[in-house]
């Protein structure tokens, strides 16, 4: 009994330390990450199941050369547009949901958290369902009863079971998570490198250029832009994660470069593997690639690595969501914070959400593109990098705007809705003629950025937005001045 209480005390202390560390601004001695440290930490989530599936969708619509173009431009350019905000988090040592208070307002930043929550629930369900499909393939090889070896029944069953395993590990706190990730992270990297190696150096590479995508649209231009939009969605989707580790950077330049390279470039490795594998096998399902590409025993190893890696990604996302929730709503218990991940189960009951991944990423593209334009406009063009750290933590302070919400952000979001949905409907795949020339996510970003700037400077004109010159102080001076 004493040992159990001691364990619970250590677990609670560890979680509480993480929450406090995530909420409070980091001082100089706590900023311990170099460029390579940040690269290694951020590339873990970058090389993820989501990149793999984004690439798979690309490979079912495009050939190998077009897939490479859509993947690299679709991921790198959105990151080029939003990565400068990393300088904000690195300079002030603050987390995403604290930093966004200056542009969205205190309540607006809380509302942004719930968008982050929906994104995380969606990502967790994708990773778990992919893992469930992998376990079904293993069950079929073992000749288990049809309930377990059939994708219709087995994939949801195993996905929910794996959710339970991830939940238990995450609930035990950071120590258990770090131990599991010692296996999960190398597993996913080994899986990607192994699969790519087999494709490139095996018998498949000579035939790649002759293979046709399995599910193209009626025209090549429509296929390219639709695939590009899915990749753009993945590129913009990293926005909520940019402040999590950049706040620990020793140098602002290191934070910027590491974020851009990990989320904008290296993530493309997973997408390229997915695209090439989908072209070779003609399927969106990574679980079906393994034995078709690597043979029976190589395929079994790949399925195991894919399962472990996706459970690891789920644990990473689950803990991030629970800690962020507990940070914003400190009076809630850790178990309650963990329970905010339970709605994921409803997305695992069938393959419906998993099969709608393309539409999900397109909606993420619209949402994060709008918010990215707002945040970049606010920090660089409206406030000219002049932020009060004290006011960020004073919920009755300068960033209250109108009842805790910045009306200029609302205006920009409305403009973003009009622009995006006027160009492209991700639910019905209907589009205007302009969509084929400019996509939808990138124009939405610029529309939100411009409309926010005009609204903040010339319409609502809050005093905190009427900054004439940027301040030119060191990072430490900035922090001391703000406090």
Q: Check residue 406 and give its pLDDT.
A: 96
Which candidate, 421, 419, 317, 447, places its Cα nearest to that of 363? 421
Buried b (16+ CB within 10 A) or exposed e, 232-242: bbbbbbbbbbb
What six digits make up the tokens of 132?
A: 């469930």
Q: What are phi and psi of 3, to 5 degrees?
A: -65, -40
Distance between CA atoms of 278 and 356, rounded to whole angstroms? 17
Q: Check residue 365 and give its pLDDT.
A: 83
CA distances (Å), origin 12, targets 158, 169, 263, 342, 346: 30, 14, 32, 21, 28
**pLDDT tens-digit map of 101-136:** 999 999 999 888 888 888 899 989 999 999 999 999
Domains of the chain: 32-357 (1.10.4160.10)
pLDDT over threshold 70, residue 20: no
Model pTM? Answer: 0.85
Average pLDDT rounded to a whole number, residues 213-232: 89
User: Tokens 């329970």 map to which residue?
Assistant: 339
Average pLDDT rounded to a whole number, residues 45-58: 82
**pLDDT tens-digit map of 55-93:** 999 999 998 889 999 999 999 999 999 999 999 999 998
What six digits make up the tokens of 106?
A: 């205190």
Q: Check residue 416 and give its pLDDT.
A: 95
The answer to whether 211 touches 278, Cβ cutoff 8 Å, is no
**pLDDT tens-digit map of 323-361:** 778 777 777 887 888 999 999 999 999 999 998 888 888
**pLDDT tens-digit map of 370-428:** 999 999 999 999 999 999 988 998 888 899 999 999 999 999 999 999 999 999 998 88
CA distances (Å), origin 438, targets 45, 198, 317, 408, 477: 28, 36, 32, 25, 42
User: Tokens 């400077």 map to which residue?
Assistant: 457
Residue 95's SS3 state is coil
Which candidate, 103, 109, 115, 97, places its Cα nearest to that of 460? 103
**pLDDT tens-digit map of 154-198:** 999 999 999 999 999 888 876 677 677 677 777 777 777 888 888
pLDDT over threshold 50, residue 453: yes
Q: What are phi and psi of 331, to 5 degrees?
A: -80, -15
Q: Check residue 342 and give its pLDDT.
A: 95
Average pLDDT rounded to a whole number, residues 453-471: 84
Distance between CA atoms of 342 and 126, rounded to whole angstroms? 14
432: Cβ contacts below 8 Å, ≥ 6 apart? 422, 423, 424
């Amino acid at each position: 009994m004493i040992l159990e209480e001691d364990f619970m005390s250590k677990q609670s202390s560890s979680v509480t330390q993480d929450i406090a560390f995530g909420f409070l601004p980091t001082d100089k001695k706590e900023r311990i990450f170099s460029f390579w440290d940040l690269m290694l930490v951020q590339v873990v989530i970058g090389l993820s199941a989501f990149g793999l599936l984004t690439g798979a969708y690309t490979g079912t619509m495009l050939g190998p050369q077009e897939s490479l173009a859509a993947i690299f431009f679709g991921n790198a350019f959105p990151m080029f547009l939003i990565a400068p905000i990393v300088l904000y988090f690195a300079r002030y040592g603050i987390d995403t949901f604290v930093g966004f208070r200056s542009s969205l307002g205190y309540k607006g930043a809380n509302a942004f958290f719930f968008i982050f929550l929906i994104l995380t629930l969606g990502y967790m369900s994708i990773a778990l369902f992919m893992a469930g499909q992998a376990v079904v393939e293993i069950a079929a090889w073992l000749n288990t009863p049809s309930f377990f070896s059939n994708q219709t029944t087995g994939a949801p069953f195993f996905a929910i079971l794996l959710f339970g395993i991830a939940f238990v590990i995450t609930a035990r706190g950071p120590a258990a998570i770090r131990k599991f990730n010692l296996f999960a992270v190398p597993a996913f990297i080994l899986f990607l490198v192994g699969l790519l190696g087999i494709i490139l150096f095996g018998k498949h590479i000579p035939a790649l250029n002759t293979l046709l995508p399995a599910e193209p649209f009626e025209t090549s231009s429509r296929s390219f832009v639709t695939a590009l939009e899915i990749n753009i969605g993945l590129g913009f989707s990293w926005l909520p994660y940019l402040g999590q580790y950049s706040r620990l950077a020793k140098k602002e330049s290191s934070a910027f470069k590491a974020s851009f390279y990990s989320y904008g470039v290296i993530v493309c490795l997973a997408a390229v593997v997915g695209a090439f594998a989908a072209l070779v096998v003609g399927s969106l399902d990574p679980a079906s690639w393994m034995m078709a590409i690597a043979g029976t025993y190589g395929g079994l190893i790949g399925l195991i690595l894919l399962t472990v890696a996706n459970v690891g990604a789920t644990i990473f996302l689950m803990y991030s969501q629970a800690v962020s929730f507990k940070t914003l709503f400190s009076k809630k218990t850790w178990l309650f914070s963990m329970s905010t991940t339970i709605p994921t189960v409803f997305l695992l009951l069938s393959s419906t959400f998993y099969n709608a991944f393309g539409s999900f990423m397109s909606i993420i593209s619209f949402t994060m593109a709008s918010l990215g334009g707002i945040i970049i406009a606010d920090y660089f063009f409206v406030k000219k990098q002049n932020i009060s750290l004290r006011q960020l933590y004073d919920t009755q302070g300068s960033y209250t705007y109108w009842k805790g919400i910045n009306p200029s952000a609302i205006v920009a979001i409305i403009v973003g809705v009009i622009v995006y949905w006027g160009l492209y409907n991700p639910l019905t795949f209907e589009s205007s003629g302009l969509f084929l020339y400019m996509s939808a996510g990138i124009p939405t970003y610029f529309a939100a950025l411009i409309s926010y700037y005009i609204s903040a400077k010339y319409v609502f004109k809050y005093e905190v937005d009427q900054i004439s010159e940027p301040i030119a102080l060191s990072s430490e001076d900035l922090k001391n001045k703000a406090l």
